[in-house]
Amino acid sequence: MNNSDDTLSAPSASSPAGAHDPPAGARTQHTPASTPLLPVRMLNEYAYCPRLFHLEWVQREWADNAYTLDGKRVHKRVDKPSRHGLRSADRASDDSASSKDAGQPEDTLFQQHARSVDLGDDALGLIARIDLVEAEGDQATPIDYKRGKRPDVPGGAYEPERVQVCAQGLLLRAHGFRSDHGILYFAGSRERVDVPFTDALVERTLALRDQALQAAEAEKPPSPLVDSPKCPRCSLVGICLPDEQNALLGRSTEGIRPLVSLRDDALPLHVQEHGAVVSKRAAELVIKRKGSELERVRIKDVSRINLHGSAHITLPALQTALGNGIPVGLFTYGGWYYGRAQGHDHKNVLLRQAQFASAQDEGRCLRIAQRLVHAKIKNSRVMLRRNSRALDRRILDDLSGHARRARQADSQATLLGIEGSAARLYFQNFSGMLRQDVPFSFDSRNRRPPRDPVNALLSFSYALLTAEWTATLSTVGFDPYQGFYHQPRYGRPSLALDLMEEFRPLIADSVVIGAINNGVLDEDDFVVTATAAALKPAGRKRFLQAFERRLDEQVTHPVFGYRLSYRRVLDVQARLLGRYIMGEIDEYPEFVTR
């Protein structure tokens, strides 16, 4: 029977980044007392790309791709801890001596094979989960599993992998074992590569450890790699945006490589049936009304849940949604956005600190607001130019003038006045974008409540866009309630309202115009009273479908030149705003179409 003090065992779960938290109070001798032990997996990432290390460990970003998913498959067996864990070096030596006393040959040593072994050491400042440890007596060999084939390079492995297994060997030494080499097992070619722990490799490993810890404490993350072949294969390329950031800073000598922007299989689930209930059954969400099943959908296919009117969700379904990072949005029947329920906030507190610091800087707030309002006016002009039946050229010239003045505004108050003037001019000509034979008219913008069908659609579309931006900003790591242009007010997602300004014409208004002109909606889809207008359920469903189709449409990014969906554009623009307020780029690149 093993004594728990003599067994080094591991928990069964691991974090996406391959790291796990050290025991409370664990500290290193190489960093300030507030810095936790450095996961050896993160040492691998730093050797591969310092920025990737910072994104994963400091900012706690993660995204899967085909390579990471295949890696999880390869690790499935070794991620299951051995029943008895790894016996300590002293216990293993004692067991070897006991074997000799029992009459076994002199060279008989106690052998053990332990999977998923957790080791940490304060003096080294490292912590690791070792896939497999093979030991004979007090001689231990760490074995690290890799998904691909053995690379055709000197030594049979790249530096990040050699450094990682060397660090594991150093941890085994710190726990009393002798360890002079490690093994990399490449599942793709089923080959083992021996990695001797030479003095040079040990020195390099410790140097990279020190550099990584210093990078973690720096005010800014490391710069992205420039034109590197590593980037397209990285699962975090869509978060890092290396080519985009380098292009904005004039560092790149090659063209911007398009983001691999596949259509996301996970999409929003809108539930609007009166009295509908969302419940959980196994790996599915089931929507019922009065006991009758209306729909069922796999949880993995849902990006967020939006509940309209009296539709509600059971506690188990809510817990499952939040546990899977699926926010739940709440809307009135009329389309007013109440708010959302979500799980844990994004862990990138550094971004939120920079956000709140920037919000106290009037000059920076004005610069951000200038660009957002300028983009909104320019995109409003694009909508009128593209869709109006007949438009006086002077209207377009006036909007261009408003856009120029927005970039030159000397205060937020002045900017508000310019935006208001441009909005009045835009909506005075909005009806010219509607077909003459449609049964709807539009005289002016009104809301709370909207008094005609077109205004009801505009209000609903803006509410949907607000919810989309709120969820996107939360995913990126922002606080959606602290804005730079819209002033904070209790319960108002000011930053979401800021960022949606340049997309109001391109997404929200475009959906309304298309739904009316293409006959998606007619007069029978509305309830109109003397004081208000609202969509009926059937019309609301068709409008929601039109809104989601618009978000899924591909558009050419005006700055980077590649095509991606509007849904992905929102994510890219939010991350670029983060780069700006973190001081990584000089300006926020506004989104203006031609």
Please state the φ and ψ torsions of residue 338, each to the nearest 5 degrees.
-75, -50
Whole-number Å distance between alpha carbons of 343 and 304: 12
| Helices and strands, counts by H and E, the chain | 18, 20
- For residue 4, give the DSSP letter: G
Q: Strands of 258-326 (E only): list them.
A: 267-271, 277-281, 284-289, 292-298, 302-308, 312-313
The residue written with tokens 């007090």 in the block is: 138
Distances (CA, A) of 123 to 163, 176, 197, 217: 18, 14, 19, 19
Please state the φ and ψ torsions of residue 559, each to the nearest 5 degrees.
-95, -40
Q: Is the CB of residue 355 less than 8 Å from the CB of residue 488?
A: no
Q: Is the CB of residue 20 less than 8 Å from the CB of residue 57?
A: no
Is 244 within any annotated ligand binding site? no
User: Most distant CA pair in the chain: distance in Å?
Assistant: 104
Is 486 within any annotated ligand binding site? yes
Distances (CA, A) of 513 to 325, 333, 508, 521: 33, 21, 9, 11
Point out which residues pair with 280 in neighbouring strands.
285
Please state the φ and ψ torsions of residue 296, each to the nearest 5 degrees.
-140, 145
**And the tokens for 278?**
């969302």
Q: Give the amino acid at 568.
A: R
Distances (CA, A) of 464 to 288, 326, 458, 542, 557: 24, 16, 10, 14, 22
**And the tokens for 121?**
């050491």
Whole-number Å distance between alpha carbons of 178 and 167: 13
Whole-number Å distance between alpha carbons of 336 and 528: 17
Please state the φ and ψ torsions of residue 550, each to the nearest 5 degrees.
-65, -40
Please state the φ and ψ torsions of residue 573, each to the nearest 5 degrees.
-65, -40
Whole-number Å distance between alpha carbons of 471 and 322: 13
Q: Is the CB of residue 285 less than 8 Å from the CB of residue 279?
A: yes
Point out which residues pair with 195 in neighbouring strands.
182
Whole-number Å distance between alpha carbons of 21 and 42: 12
Sheet-wide strand order for 292-298: 292-298, 284-289, 277-281, 312-313
- Of the candidates 437, 418, 324, the one whose C-alpha atom is nearest the C-alpha of residue 378 is 418
CA atoms 549, 554, 559, 560: torsion sign:
positive
- For residue 234, give the DSSP letter: -
Q: Which residues are annotated as a binding site for Mn(2+)?
A: 419, 486, 501
Q: Which residues are annotated as a binding site?
A: 419, 486, 501
